[in-house]
Amino acid sequence: MTETQTGEIQVIFPSQTQYIHMITTMANNAAVMAGFDRSVAGKVAIACDEAVTNVIRHAYKGNPNQQVRMKFTLDGEALVIEIFHTGTPLNKENIKLPDMDQYLQEKRRGGLGLLLITKFMDEVDYVVGSENCCLLKKYRNTDQKGA
Amino acid sequence: MSELQIHCHDKDSTRVFYPQGFINAHTVHDFESSIQSAIEQGHFQILINCQSLSYINSSGLGVLMGVIEEIQENSGFLFLCNMNETVFHIFDTLGFTHLFQVFASEEEALSASRQPQNDEEPGDD
């Protein structure tokens, strides 16, 4: 009989791209621990990569001297990943995901990170506060359909 | 081990790249330099063998989008092969498999590279 793993991990790291792979690996491991198969764990890892990259590049505008705080919470319902920062918040009202048919036809470049996050996670939210937060959620026990 | 190593070999008239590691915001400049350098040398027939590529993020996809037009204008191609599940999901989810032909093996990709290229969009096969 397997017991449902629950728990919480927090990590704080400098706003530098060299740390992104460590975070991606951590997200992958958290997803495996949550019971997701390797395919879904890979998607969770990529969503985290994109979210953290956005914080470093856009919220902090490449300033390497800021901090990113990340919290992984594994509860009975889902794997919740929160990425906190004090840079420029992302206004979710202004998010416009690209139409991929048009995008590929026009051979555009960039702007795919938010779309990948949306496609690979079950829920995504951007919360503005004293610390801004990008919240990613992947539900457990959903048969991993379309995951 | 370094985060991204990129070796390349010329096979027939195709330049085959072997990225080893991962392509993210930290390593994408090395990836872009390698591809861009090949194009500047006049190599417009490019195959990326993803056998040792653990993942690629949207920065890496941006590199491919940035060169595909020039490659096509020069009657070349940009094929990919040996993708792991994560890499394939990224391409497939975004519809990149309609713009870039993806093959199961290097042999299949090189075999296709010997066929005359045309301007049609690649199929779903």
Instruction: Identify whether the C-beta of residue A89 lies closer than 8 Å to the C-beta of residue A30.
Output: no
Q: Which two tokens stand for residue B86?
A: 């994560």
> What is the ipTM for the molecules in this complex?
0.90
Distance set, CA A106 to CA A14, A16, A99, A101, A111 (Å): 36, 32, 11, 9, 13
Residue A48 within any structural domain of the chain? yes
Per-residue pLDDT tens digits for A117-145: 999 999 999 999 999 999 999 999 765 44
Is there a domain that residue A145 lies in?
no
Q: Is residue A1 included in any domain, yes or no?
A: no
Report pLDDT for B124: 46
Q: Is B55 on the interface with A (CB under 8 A)?
A: yes
Q: What are phi and psi of B94, to 5 degrees?
A: -90, 0
* A interface test, pick of B89, B92, B101 with most A CB neighbours within 10 Å: B89
Q: What is the mean pLDDT of each run of 10 residues along chain B (125 residues)?
A: 89 96 97 97 97 97 95 96 96 94 97 74 49
In a domain, A146, yes or no: no
Residue A2 lies in a domain: no
pLDDT at position A73 over 90: yes
Q: Whole-model pTM?
A: 0.91
- Mind listing the domains of chain B with CATH numbers? 4-113 (3.30.750.24)
The number of distinct structural domains making up chain A is 1
User: For residue A40, is it within any domain?
Assistant: yes
Q: Which residues of B touch A61 (CB under 8 A)?
A: none
Answer yes or no: is A147 within a domain: no
CATH number for the domain including A117? 3.30.565.10
B window 11-40, beta carbon within 8 A of A: 22, 24-26
Where in the sequence is the domain holding A45, given as residue range(s)?
7-139
